Amino acid sequence: MHRRITVAALAVGALALAGCSTTQPSSSPSGSASDSASGGTVVLVTHDSFALPDDLISQFESDTGLTLDVRTQGDAGSMVNQLVLTKDAPIGDAVFGIDNTFASRAIDAGVLAPYRATLPAGADQYVVGDSGDLSPVDVGDVCVNADVTWFADHDLPVPQTLEDLTKPEYKGLLVVENPATSSPGLAFMLATVGAFGADGWQAYWQKLVDNKVDVAASWSDAYYVDFSGPSSDGDKPLVVSYASSPPYEVPDGAETAPTTALLDTCFRQVEYAGVLAGAKNPDGAKKVVDWLLSPAVQAAIPESMYVYPVDSSVQLPESWVQFAPMADKPYTVAPADIAANRDAWLKAWTDLVVG
Amino acid sequence: MSGDLAVRDLVVLYRDDDGSVATAVDHLDLDVATGEVVALLGPSGSGKSSLLRAVAGLEPAAAGRITWDGEDLAGVPAHRRGFGLMFQDGQLFGHRDVAGNVAFGLQMQRVPARERAERTRELLDLVGLAGFAHRAVSTLSGGERQRVALARSLAPRPRLLLLDEPLSALDRALRERLADEVREALVATGTTALFVTHDHDEAFAVADRIAVMDLGRLLQVDTPPRLWQSPATRRVAEFLGYEAFVADDGGPVARALAAGVARDGGGAPLLAVGPASLEVADDGPLVATVRAAGFRRGVVELAADVEGVGEVTLVERTAGRSGAGDLPRPGTSLRLRPVAGGVARVG
Amino acid sequence: MSAVAWPRPGRALPGRWRPGRAAAWGLAAAVPLAFLGVFFALPVVGLVARGFWTDGALDLSGFADVMSRPHTWRVIGITLGQATVGTAVAVVLGVPGAHLLYRTRFRGQGLLRGLVAVPFVLPTVVVGVAFRSVLGGNGPLAFLGWDGTFAGVVAALVFFNYTVVVRTVGAFWAGLDPRTEQAARALGASPARAFWSVTLPALAPGIASAASIVFLFCATAFGVVLVLGGVGYGTVETEIWVQTTQFLDLRAAAVLSVVQLVVVTAALWVAGHARRRREQALTRVPEAVPPLALRGPQAKAGDRWAAGVTGAVIVVLLGLPMASLVVRSLHTRDGWGLGNYAALDRRGFGLGASGWEAAATSLRVAVDATLIAVVVAGLVALIASRRPRTRGLRRAVGALDAVVMLPLGVSAVTVGFGILITLNRPFGLDLDLRASPMLLPIAQAVVAVPLVVRTVLPVLRAIDTRLHEAAAVLGASPFRVLRHVDWPVAARSLGLAVGLAFAVSLGEFGATSFLVRPESPTLPVLIYRLIGRPGADNLGTAMAASVLLAGLTAVVMALAERLRGTQGSDV
């Protein structure tokens, strides 16, 4: 009999063994040893596009004595919804990556604890709400990108405005992302809301539909399959992407970019950081928010996350200066309006475009 | 190694998948003495396999006791009983070669490797498969597989070997030859055995005693000659192959048949006639009409309608016959007399 | 005589109830049940319950609301249609593949077996790009007009699941006694007739096993549906994802989760029924596999058919998308070359790891996940292969068999979100499991367990109980029966099972994206990050990393194949 029990014991043992074998994180210092040696661990919850150079993280840890534990929780929408669901037992201390399309939902749900960080120059314009719950960290413009080479080859002028896109000469040339499943897709839909108002945007989309707009599920799908740009094989010379995309299509040493962002078609996404309500380490969380706003991190943001820092004093990479200017007058929609109408707008869009 | 199997008042229930319960073994008593080979003979569905499985410890007893050497086996799992079991289809381990199969039981007893190899060789010799040790079992013929199964069962020197229709999947000639070989192997190894079969020829060839079983009960337990000559009931007689039954009413047919009864003590009211009971004799007292005739394995078999008895099979030596054209035609009249000891008195 | 010392009978416990034995089985059942209970059932029930709980009271009005929308019914219809057609096509194409790869032998077979397994592990985002490159716009198969259609989705589902059918059916077929088919041939049946009337019915348990898994995969496919289905093409799975992650409408998500559960349970019931009807003790005589015979006097029509169908599948269905991957991986900003592969060595900004480091992480996690999956699934298969005497226990065993399949049929989003809201204090214990690094391999193991069970169980079930009895009367204790009878037979299928579990872990993305550490991404996560960035360099590196993932899988699968040979022996 004891042998039979041995089998089961072995099974349990194997499970335990698995636990202490290969998956033990070597670089993820959440253990208690480092806690006692330093100021403890601070957990940063973020989305899966979060990225910063390793040396900046090490610098933060040695400066503060804290151990930074970064947890990614799916895309921005997933992350915010998870924070809402777990607000009674928060999964971290600080959050980064709540954007202006989700900001109001997070604030209204009581996910955040008030913390008014000292903002760098130029950041004030992006502040949301009056409680100071969220600090803007970076911004990005979602714009229609055009394959300049294609238009040159076809002797067509590159379109400039949202209205241009509905003209017959651009029929069947544009691919957008589904706003229900893609963050740039949602941003572009909001650009049209900003441009034509809550009453007029649907009429605009009707014209786009009549002009054979194509819809892809995700950005990579649209950009790498449908778009005719240099890194893809598609047949659509117009795609909804970012203002920061063109520099990455420029061959080494070239003076001109093969693609360009149409700066009159942009919606500005703003990403925020904040301290989570009920955080175990609220002081650490505040330090993380401050760190994200620090000049070193702000300077690293473009090349790491492909967005622009909120700090207007930060020097942008040369290729960005040359090929990725920001829109002067991006379209905007108030976060509160987005929170109130997002579901209705998405449903309306789906009914209109999908039928 | 001494011990006796005793089965007392045993009841084994058979549960079907639909939940219905049938009685497979019905308050049965049986004894097997050390060194004895007992055949359990009965038609399919008579409960003999259930009895065997209960003895092996593979089927729980619903009531009654099974003892070995006086000790109750209830609660002793199959692997601790020290009994061997040989299945109808061998159930060899496909992932082991011949030697690996034979050595399995020894391995379970943690017999040292050298001793194991020696014993395996010995057993393979015994069953006539010397040199087969490293053959894959999938390459064996049916007869070879059963020999391996026999060697495997015998290797650990079981206190009692249970054989569940071990030969019935084989062809007739092989079956008869192997039945003799099994008997020899059992005797040579002094193994106590319980041998289940539905073939009375096999039972007679193998057993010291035969237990006839039907509907979960034992009808008769006897030595082969006694069983043959004095079946306890008409049912037993029928199962042994007796074909026609005549009331011993003092009439001419009954008187003529009674002359063929061995050790006739009289008394029992029924005489049983089978294939070996009557022979052709020009001056015989019985009259028969041939219904059909044919050669069977070197003898002539006739189906004949014997007046006052009924339809009986007659066996005749082929000597003097030149071929099929020489066989008696249907409708031919014959005179017959009883063979000495060929007629049984039932009861 | 010396070695033979039979224990005195009286030494054993009297009576039929053996507490030790019952305890051992109880423990064997408790491990997988506890595992699935904590890491699967608790999160799912937790999240679904949250959807039906409004203001502290149970509120089922969501059902009436959601189920009265025509959209919901359309989504259910699409889900069932897609899963049914996908499964049927995968089975029809997969059975010839199983014959070719497991019932014949030829040079390069091992390589081919590894190759067909590759699609199974490719991240959907990569497959989406690869498929659309073939089907859409300027692709070689654009003329079919399948881009953004039902047919395109089905093609991709078959692409993913082909290997499941080939392997599951192949493992089963390899152990089937070929003599029954030979007998039918001898009785005058043509090869085709013998196949239809003898072999196919005998294969039914294997096919039912494979079909039930594939059905679940097809019914719950996510990324590929999103990318290839086009807008407006929604399944229950994508709806749950949208409702949960985008709208936070837990009520609708809970209703849809229940619908999904009902669909999945019904599918499992049907599959289980089909399986049980056929899954009896078969005589399994592994025989030397004959060489492939396509030409000459020994040519077999069956072999030709199998080779033809499988060749077409491998070239067109599997080959074209994979080739488009390879081609794209060789396409750099400066023309053709291996630059993208060289880039695998570099740590891009914020990617957390180089391609090689991510590959190492993937392998490490996969080892853990496979270990867990094999232990848990092994115990499940062991228990489910038993036929207890009492009807109650038999039912319990049947229930375990069915329940263990559920992880394949429940949305990764539901599990992922459920983990977050339930595992902070599981069962009131002060133990926040959400932060445990073991969650990642565990989550992958949960998905792999059903696959391993489905691969091993038919093989275990096909062992004649009398073989166990033969071993028992030869003196083998129940443990040694397992060790010497079941294990050698099961080990033959274990190589396949390990391969599948490993593949699942290598390719898993849904749950991984919730649980992975950003500083040590797995290969699919790295690919996902790369492909989310603009520029030919990023795309090229993503494609090169996908080729690396594919190669890794092929190698692992080929190694797993070899496990069959060595572990199958019983010395």
Q: How far is CA C83 from the centre of its chain?
A: 15
> Residue C175 above 80 pLDDT?
no
pLDDT at C567: 36
| Residue B156 identity (one-letter amino acid) | P
Q: Do A223 and C368 touch (CB under 8 A)?
A: no
Is B108 part of the contact surface with chain C (CB cutoff 8 Å)? yes
Q: Spell out the per-residue pLDDT of chain B, length 347, in tens.
A: 346 899 999 999 887 666 678 889 999 999 999 989 999 999 888 899 899 999 998 888 899 999 998 889 988 888 888 898 888 887 888 888 999 999 999 988 889 999 999 999 999 998 889 989 999 888 888 889 989 998 999 898 898 999 998 888 777 888 888 888 889 888 888 889 999 998 888 898 899 999 999 999 999 999 998 898 889 899 999 888 899 999 888 888 888 888 888 766 666 788 999 888 888 888 888 999 999 888 776 778 888 899 888 899 888 765 555 555 677 788 888 899 998 888 888 87
> Residue A3 above 80 pLDDT?
no
**Average of pLDDT values for C101-126?**
82
Which tokens is C343 given? Answer: 């880039």
Are C460 and C552 in a shared domain? yes
**C-alpha to C-alpha distance for B339 and B228, rounded to whole angstroms:** 14
**C-alpha to C-alpha distance for A141 and A194, rounded to whole angstroms:** 14
Which tokens is B325 given? Answer: 């054209």
Which tokens is B297 given? Answer: 């394995």
Are C520 and C569 in a shared domain? yes
487-526 in chain C: CB under 8 A from chain B: 488-489
Quick one: which of C51, C49, C229, C238 has its CA closest to C155?
A: C229
Phi-psi region of C134 (alpha: psi -120 to 50; beta: other; left: phi over 0): alpha
Chain C residue with minimum CA distance to B157? C4
Largest CA distance in chain B: 71
What residues are paired with A242 via a beta bridge?
A: A142
Determine which helix (DSSP H) or strand (DSSP E) holds B263, and give its type and residue range. Answer: none
Q: Do A85 and C379 touch (CB under 8 A)?
A: no
| Residue B102 identity (one-letter amino acid) | V
Are C296 and C394 in a shared domain? no
Is C24 part of the contact surface with chain A (CB cutoff 8 Å)? yes
* Contact yes or no, A with B (3+ CB pairs under 8 Å): no
DSSP summary character for residue A331: B
Q: Is A272 helix (H, G, I), strand (E, B) or coil?
A: strand
The Cα-based distances of C81 to A55, C58, C154 in angstroms read 52, 33, 10
Q: Is B71 helix (H, G, I), strand (E, B) or coil?
A: strand
**C-alpha to C-alpha distance for B290 and B210, rounded to whole angstroms:** 34
pLDDT at B325: 61
Chain B residue with minimum CA distance to C392? B19
Min Cα separation A81/chain C (Å) = 6
List b or e across A204-216, with b for residues whose CB sees 16 or more CB atoms inside 10 angstroms.
bbeebeebebbbb
Which of C328, C350, C379 terminates a domain? The answer is C328
Q: Do C469 and B56 touch (CB under 8 A)?
A: yes
Mean pLDDT, all residues of chain A:
85
**C-alpha to C-alpha distance for B324 and A303, rounded to whole angstroms:** 105
Are C302 and C341 in a shared domain? no
DSSP summary character for residue B139: G
In C313-437, which residue ranges form alpha helices assigned H by DSSP? 320-329, 339-342, 355-384, 391-403, 406-409, 412-422
C-beta atoms surrounding A227 within 10 Å: 30
In C508-532, which residue ranges form alpha helices assigned H by DSSP? 512-515, 523-531
Is A20 part of the contact surface with chain C (CB cutoff 8 Å)? no
Strands A112-113 and A259-276 turn out to be antiparallel
**C-alpha to C-alpha distance for C396 and C255, rounded to whole angstroms:** 28
Chain B residue with minimum CA distance to C568? B95
**C-alpha to C-alpha distance for A331 and A266, rounded to whole angstroms:** 6
- pLDDT (tens digit, 9 = 90+) per residue, A183-205? 899 999 999 999 999 999 999 99
Q: Do B87 and C466 touch (CB under 8 A)?
A: yes
| Domains: count for chain C | 2
C-beta atoms surrounding A114 within 10 Å: 10
Question: Same CATH topology for A33-140+269-323 and A141-267+327-354?
Answer: yes
Are C321 and C346 in a shared domain? no
Give C393's pLDDT tier (boundaries 50, 70, 90): confident
DSSP summary character for residue B163: E
Subunits in contact with chain C (3 or more CB pairs closer than 8 Å)? A, B
Quick one: which of A99, A217, A211, A223 has its CA closest to A162?
A: A211
Residues whose CB falls within 8 Å of the CB of residue C127, separated by 6 or more in sequence, listed in order: C119, C156, C159, C160, C223, C224, C227, C321
Backbone angles phi, psi at C4, to 5 degrees: -90, 110
pLDDT at A267: 96
**C-alpha to C-alpha distance for C328 and C447, rounded to whole angstroms:** 31
Query: What is the C-alpha end-to-end distance of chain C, expressed in Å?
Result: 25
DSSP summary character for residue C378: H
Is C336 part of the contact surface with chain B (CB cutoff 8 Å)? no
Residue C63 resides in a domain = no
Whether residue B91 contacts residue C470, with contact meaning beta carbons closer than 8 Å, is answered with: yes
Which of C291, C311, C328 terminates a domain? The answer is C328
**C-alpha to C-alpha distance for A71 and A331, rounded to whole angstroms:** 32
C-beta atoms surrounding C392 within 10 Å: 8
Which tokens is C140 given? Answer: 């070689």
Residues whose CB falls within 8 Å of the CB of residue C378, separated by 6 or more in sequence, listed in order: A11, C452, C456, C490
The domain spans of chain A are 33-140+269-323, 141-267+327-354
Q: What dihedral angle (degrees, nearest 10) is formed by the CA atoms of C388, C391, C396, C399? A: 110
Are C258 and C320 in a shared domain? yes
Min Cα separation C174/chain A (Å) = 29
Q: What CATH code would you report for A33-140+269-323? A: 3.40.190.10
Give A31's pLDDT tier (boundaries 50, 70, 90): very low
Would you list the DSSP string of C66-130?
HHT-HHHHHHHHHHHHHHHHHHHHHHHHHHHHHHHHHSSB-TTHHHHHHHHHHHHHS-HHHHHHH
**Average of pLDDT values for A123-149?**
90
Residues whose CB falls within 8 Å of the CB of residue C115, separated by 6 or more in sequence, listed in order: C314, C318, C554
pLDDT at C2: 37
Q: Do A48 and C367 touch (CB under 8 A)?
A: no
pLDDT at C145: 80
Are C120 and C210 in a shared domain? yes
pLDDT at A35: 42
pLDDT at A306: 86
Are C319 and C200 in a shared domain? yes
Query: Is 0.80 topped by the overall pTM?
Result: no
What is the CATH topology of the domain spanning A141-267+327-354? Answer: D-Maltodextrin-Binding Protein; domain 2 (3.40.190)
**C-alpha to C-alpha distance for A69 and A38, rounded to whole angstroms:** 14
Which of C260, C295, C328 terminates a domain? The answer is C328
**Average of pLDDT values for C325-339?**
82
- Total beta-carbon pairs less than 8 A apart between chain B and chain C: 128
Domain containing residue C398: 1-55+337-571
Looking at per-residue pLDDT, the higher value among A161 and C245 belongs to: A161
- Low-confidence winner among A172-181, B324-333, C32-41 (lowest mean pLDDT): B324-333
Are C292 and C353 in a shared domain? no
C-beta atoms surrounding B310 within 10 Å: 13
Whether residue C515 contacts residue C443, with contact meaning beta carbons closer than 8 Å, is answered with: yes
B93, B160, B161, B163, best to mutate vs chain C, most C CBs in 10 Å: B93
Residue C110 resides in a domain = yes
Are C422 and C296 in a shared domain? no
Place of tokens 């006897």: B222
**C-alpha to C-alpha distance for B86 and B53, rounded to whole angstroms:** 11
pLDDT at C275: 65
- pLDDT (tens digit, 9 = 90+) per residue, C241-295? 888 877 788 888 889 989 888 888 888 787 777 666 555 444 444 455 777 777 7
> Residue A34 above 60 pLDDT?
no
**Average of pLDDT values for C16-22?**
64
Which tokens is A26 given? Answer: 């070597």
| Residue C276 identity (one-letter amino acid) | R
> Residue C410 above 60 pLDDT?
yes
The Cα-based distances of A161 to A83, A193, C111 in angstroms read 37, 14, 54
pLDDT at B266: 63
Is A58 part of the contact surface with chain C (CB cutoff 8 Å)? no
Determine which helix (DSSP H) or strand (DSSP E) holds B259, and give its type and residue range. Answer: none
**C-alpha to C-alpha distance for C16 and C310, rounded to whole angstroms:** 54
Place of tokens 């872990």: C505
Give C502's pLDDT tier (boundaries 50, 70, 90): confident
**C-alpha to C-alpha distance for C227 and A163, rounded to whole angstroms:** 28
In C279-354, which residue ranges form alpha helices assigned H by DSSP? 301-312, 320-329, 339-342
> Residue C17 above 60 pLDDT?
no
The CATH code of the domain that includes C389 is 1.10.3720.10
Are C266 and C360 in a shared domain? no
Which tokens is C179 given? Answer: 């003599």
Give A19's pLDDT tier (boundaries 50, 70, 90): very low
The Cα-based distances of C94 to B289, C87, C161, C255 in angstroms read 67, 10, 9, 34
Are C347 and C218 in a shared domain? no
